């Protein structure tokens, strides 16, 4: 069965995502783009998120890619937000219904090559940028 959210066959996207997380946690060269991998994957698999969570991930990706904020800085901001109890929304969904109904993406996680850390980081960045561009065109969220 094709993934109902990103369209990849046999839901290979989930397998690949799990493999990438292991790779990123075991090799620092790959780990530098961990924040992009997670945000891009979540944007393209919105059933894992609430509506607010999806919008939050999109905003995060924009901060990483467009505003060039370093992940550590954003993590601190997020932590402050959580600590101060300002965040009133849940990020993860239990309902399992997609937030968006877009299932065609120019790039998915399957476009990322893993030969070496440099290629991997370039491909993850290109995938994340493409996911952000397409997500920002979605007006009905």
Q: Which residues bind Zn ion (CB under 5 A)?
A: 3, 5-6, 13
For Zn ion, give the closer residue by CB, 3 or 36. Answer: 3
Minimum distance, C-beta of residue 49 to Zn ion, in the bound complex (Å): 14
Give the number of other Cβ atoms within 10 Å of residue 105's Cβ. Answer: 20
Question: Which residue, 78 or 113, has its beta carbon nearer to Zn ion?
Answer: 113
Shortest separation between residue 132's beta carbon and Zn ion, angstroms: 17
Please, which residue, 32 or 130, has the CB nearer to Zn ion? 130
Kindly state the smallest distance separating residue 17's Cβ from Zn ion, in Å: 8
Contact between 52 and 89 (Cβ < 8 Å): yes
Integer-rounded Cα radius of gyration of the chain? 15
């Amino acid at each position: 069965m094709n993934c109902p959210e990103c369209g990849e066959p046999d839901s290979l996207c989930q397998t690949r995502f799990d493999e990438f997380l292991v790779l990123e946690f075991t090799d620092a060269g790959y780990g530098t783009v961990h924040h992009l991998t997670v945000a891009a994957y979540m944007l393209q698999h919105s059933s894992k998120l609430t509506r607010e969570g999806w919008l939050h991930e999109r905003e995060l990706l924009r901060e990483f890619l467009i505003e060039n904020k370093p992940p550590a800085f954003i993590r601190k901001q997020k932590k402050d937000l959580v600590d101060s109890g300002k965040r009133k929304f849940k990020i993860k969904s239990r309902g399992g219904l997609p937030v968006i109904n877009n299932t065609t993406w120019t790039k998915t996680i399957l476009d990322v090559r893993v030969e070496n850390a440099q290629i991997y980081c370039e491909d993850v960045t290109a995938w994340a940028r493409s996911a952000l561009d397409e997500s920002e065109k979605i007006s009905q969220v």
